[in-house]
């Protein structure tokens, strides 16, 4: 019985010695690394205290989120974009806008437009039309769509509103559109007298001179001729 106890004790001592040697070896291996790390931290701290090393300011750091998703803790906005167009009665307007996919997957959007109404809810004389009813966009890609309205029967001094609707599956996402029909005056072009174009530059002393008028006379047939 005593012999068995001695064998167990010897085995325990062997295991203990082996573990101790492994611990000592690990400490000897890690000691230079730990000392080097603490030395670097100490030197860095001294430089920061001395003002020789800029500190890292995290207060101004912002993380860009994918605009494909609505802001957290807030409802998605009723209008994801807004367009205001000024026009004159009688013209035809074309209003382009861009649809962009900022999600990580290819998206297909159906596009439509609601009825165009004034502030009292009355329908406009003519309805807007879209150049495209569907767009399919790969991630990061965009596509131009145009809204057109013929204002022949419109009156100046009126205002109308509607929504361009983008829909992927379940939810409408709106582009709010506002049309202001007002008369802001035509541009008038008044031609100059052609004599203005004959004014020539001579020099700083005599400045400009104009060519003398041509005298008119009659030739043998009685027609008017120019006399220089």
Four-way CATH pick for 79-181: 1.10.8.100, 1.10.150.120, 2.60.40.2310, 2.160.10.10: 2.60.40.2310
State the chain's mean pLDDT as an integer. Answer: 77
> With contact defined as beta carbons under 8 Å apart, do 172 and 113 qualify?
no
Cα–Cα distance, 18 to 9 (Å, whole number): 14
Looking at the whole model, is its pTM more than 0.75? no
pLDDT digits (tens, 9 = 90+) for 33-71: 666 666 666 666 666 656 555 544 444 444 445 567 666
Please give the Cα distance from 204 to 207 (Å, whole number). 5
What is the percentage of the chain residues whose pLDDT exceeds 70? 55
DSSP output for 41-76: HHHHHHHHHHT-SPPP--TT------TTSPPTTSPP
Which two three-digit tokens encode residue 93?
Answer: 């307007």
Residue bearing tokens 């012999």? 3
Residue 95 banded pLDDT, cuts 50, 70, 90? very high
CA dihedral 133, 136, 141, 144 (to 10 degrees): -10
- At residue 73, does pLDDT exceed 50? yes
Chain segment 121-151, per-residue pLDDT in tens:
999 999 999 999 999 999 999 999 999 999 9
Q: Give the tens place of pLDDT for each residue, 192-224.
A: 888 777 766 655 555 555 566 666 555 555 555
pLDDT bracket for residue 187 (50, 70, 90): confident
């Amino acid at each position: 019985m005593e012999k068995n106890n001695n064998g167990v004790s010897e085995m325990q001592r062997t295991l203990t010695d082996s573990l101790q040697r492994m611990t000592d070896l690990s400490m000897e291996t890690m000691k230079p690394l730990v000392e080097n790390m603490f030395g670097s931290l100490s030197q860095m701290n001294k430089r920061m205290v001395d003002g020789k090393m800029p500190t890292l300011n995290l207060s101004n750091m912002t993380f860009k989120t994918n605009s494909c998703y609505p802001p957290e803790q807030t409802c998605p906005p009723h209008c994801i974009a807004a367009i205001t167009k000024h026009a004159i009665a009688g013209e035809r307007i074309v209003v382009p806008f861009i649809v962009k996919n900022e999600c990580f997957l290819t998206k297909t959007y159906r596009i439509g437009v609601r009825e165009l109404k004034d502030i009292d809810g009355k329908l406009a004389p003519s309805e807007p039309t879209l150049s495209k009813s569907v767009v399919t966009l790969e991630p990061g890609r965009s596509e131009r769509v145009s809204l057109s309205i013929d204002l022949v029967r419109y009156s100046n001094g009126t205002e109308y509103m509607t929504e361009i609707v983008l829909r992927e599956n379940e939810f409408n996402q709106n582009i709010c559109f506002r049309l202001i029909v007002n008369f802001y005056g035509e541009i008038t072009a008044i031609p100059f007298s052609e004599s203005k174009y004959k004014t020539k530059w001579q020099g700083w002393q005599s400045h400009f001179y104009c060519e003398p008028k041509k005298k008119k006379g009659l030739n043998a047939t009685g027609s008017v001729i120019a006399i220089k």
